[in-house]
Structure 1
């Protein structure tokens, strides 16, 4: 293969706008050097004299280059014409179906590729071409739906990462549904601007812990999933109907109501660490204590002592044993101190250690069992 073509200053380039007769003569030559000179001359002519762009002769020259030129010439032609709105459409169609390295700039940027052309590429070209179509900026809903219909994992993943694609609500729903079997879709979908809270809750059930944290930070999925169950359990526990806010309880009966609520949620398998955050957010310290005791299995008295200890270690260990992420504990500690008059105390520069849930549970038991412990 010959050396790569340079469009701006190729060897033998025509410095000024060439005459059409010269271009026709070059087009008849089979010399590789003449074809490079022809390409340079045609592009120079198009840049300097826009009026010649629609010339049938010029279109014929372009088509000759596309069909007969060496690969590096076709590659240079593709790069030069990728964003041109004046190139002959048949030429663009040929280049879009060429080898993927030649086709990529055309598929990505050509304004002359209509939806019908992109659909043809999806049907006739390689998987690599399909991926490039899925990445095309501002992809139309028609083409996006066709990609989803084909259900090929790689193009679907590229489409999920294309945030400029004009996806319908139904297309997003189908992508999320595909993510049940195609793990590669989950990460881009979790960041997609068109992901709704309803779809996020569905996606949440299929992703790993890292993506769950990202989704929960964006949508508060844990709270959203727990809220209906909590409201129903509270209504049943108090014999009421209608919705219920955690902040609307009768203070005289709050401790008993919180205990019964936690028992019902735990019996139904609906007790989650996310309720700890919600309880603090709504100033329900008693609910926080009951949930933490139920999640860990630690005695309620030890949980209360941990909240009022001179240091935060015991509370951190209990929260970690309950499944609270280390990154969540610091803001949670501030909320507990707000509700407990500044307790648990401790050094302002204290940082939580790295410990597993099982390790935290063991350390909590040892700490609370130690006689005259200053931590609890």
Structure 2
């Protein structure tokens, strides 16, 4: 009966009146003011309103039904397939839409619709995964800025792979507190690449120097990242660096000179295939022959063994109080010890290059310490 009366009324009502009637009917349904006996008729009336020629009517329905759970699913899905000004209201707010509904809308909908879904109060990891795979950069920024979005590690990786060359996406990714360290390191490389490719920088200092500065900045940023990750992420970061070819002598030297012996040990375990216990025993004992065997098993140049052994010994001496030196001076101390004790290795393949890197590292740490003191004095 309700459908018949409603249809008859719609024949003479204006579009504004029909919109008001649609809003009243939708609100009554959401508020639970329609009885079970009246419900089939009300649902049928709403379905009929979907065919109204005026978008005002469907907009009024969307505004009233978007926040409720009682609307017929068929009506909600139909509204989500309407024009964006209507569809985005429902897709962005309705708690009655399932993850499957939302994933389907992400796959088939417009950019505006994806943006509405990315900004929902709560976004499940499944829906976030679909957005990470299909949404454009702007909508991915919306997703990343949404504190109610649950984003899995694999989705973070896809976001970095698809849009990591866009500064806004990199910034939004870096702002997420749950971003895996492996993805952060990937973004470090993408940022360095973007920096090196800046036309202004390349014109100012030349392409070769720009590439070198970007590479060195990525090295330092990666070492800083490695110093600040939790224990549970160490193995994943080590494997990421190994797979991407970054687990080299330079990185390991930065790591051990910075005192991150746990990461250094984890890297040697992965490279050498020795057990964690065996690697840590060798590092603790510091025996020359065992150290050389470890370096060889890890595929590192023989010339690096004395240097790494010396670096570990310096930190061991600091730990037990046999040496008193500022942390920023550790690379300089290591360099002096190596130069004095292993002069006979000069000319051996890789040794001179390693010493040049250590000299650069000592300069970097000294300058960083000076800047820090200057900031403290200026504060």
- TM band (smaller chain): 0.5 to 0.7
Q: From the superposition, tell whether residues 224 and 203 of structure 1 become closer, same or farther in structure 2 (CA, over 3 Å).
A: farther
Alignment partner of 1:193 is 2:282: no
TM-score, normalised with respect to structure 2: 0.55
2:84 matched to which residue of 1? 100
Aligned residues: 260
Q: From the superposition, tell whether residues 130 and 270 of structure 1 become closer, same or farther in structure 2 (CA, over 3 Å).
A: farther
1:69 offset after TM fit, Å? Answer: 4.5
Q: From the superposition, tell whether residues 49 and 229 of structure 1 become closer, same or farther in structure 2 (CA, over 3 Å).
A: same
In structure 2, the gaps of 5 or more residues are 196-250, 260-303, 327-331, 340-351
Asked if structure 2 preserves the Cα contact closer than 8 Å seen for 1:96 and 1:106, the reply is yes
Cα distance in structure 2, aligned partners of 1:51 and 1:123: 37
1:176 offset after TM fit, Å? Answer: 2.9
Name which of 18, 21, 24 aligns with 1:38: 21
Cα distance in structure 1, aligned partners of 2:311 and 2:50: 79
1:280-315: per-residue Cα shift (whole Å, max 9, x none)? xxxxxxxxxxxxxxxxxxxxxxxxxxxxxxxxxxxx
2:41 matched to which residue of 1? 57
1:227 matched to which residue of 2? 255
Cα distance in structure 1, aligned partners of 2:373 and 2:35: 69
Name which of 356, 361, 364 aligns with 1:267: 356
The 5 Å alignment of 1:199-214 reads 199-207=183-191
The 5 Å alignment of 1:80-91 reads 80-91=64-75
1:112-138: per-residue Cα shift (whole Å, max 9, x none)? 211221122122221211222222232
Name which of 44, 53, 56 aligns with 1:72: 56
Cα distance in structure 1, aligned partners of 2:252 and 2:176: 19
In structure 1, the gaps of 5 or more residues are 1-18, 212-222, 277-321, 335-376
1:317 matched to which residue of 2? none
Q: From the superposition, tell whether residues 145 and 256 of structure 1 become closer, same or farther in structure 2 (CA, over 3 Å).
A: closer
Which 10-residue stretch deviates more, 19-28 or 252-261?
Answer: 252-261
Q: From the superposition, tell whether residues 145 and 270 of structure 1 become closer, same or farther in structure 2 (CA, over 3 Å).
A: farther
TM-score, normalised with respect to structure 1: 0.55
Alignment partner of 1:236 is 2:325: no
Asked if structure 2 preserves the Cα contact closer than 8 Å seen for 1:26 and 1:34, the reply is no
Asked if structure 2 preserves the Cα contact closer than 8 Å seen for 1:85 and 1:112, the reply is yes
Cα distance in structure 2, aligned partners of 1:327 and 1:42: 68
The 5 Å alignment of 1:1-376 reads 22-29=5-12, 31-43=14-26, 45-46=28-29, 47=31, 49-51=33-35, 55-150=39-134, 152-207=136-191, 226-228=254-256, 230=258, 235-236=307-308, 238=310, 250-251=322-323, 256-257=333-334, 259=336, 267-268=356-357, 271=360, 276=365, 324=368, 328-329=372-373, 332-333=376-377
Runs (4+) of structure 1 exceeding 6 A deviation are 252-255, 261-266
Compute the RMSD of aligned alpha carbons: 4.4
Cα distance in structure 2, aligned partners of 1:244 and 1:151: 51
1:224 offset after TM fit, Å? Answer: 11
Q: Return the index of the structure with the highest Cα Rg.
A: 1
Asked if structure 1 preserves the Cα contact closer than 8 Å seen for 2:81 and 2:87, the reply is yes
Asked if structure 2 preserves the Cα contact closer than 8 Å seen for 1:144 and 1:167, the reply is yes
Cα distance in structure 2, aligned partners of 1:117 and 1:261: 65
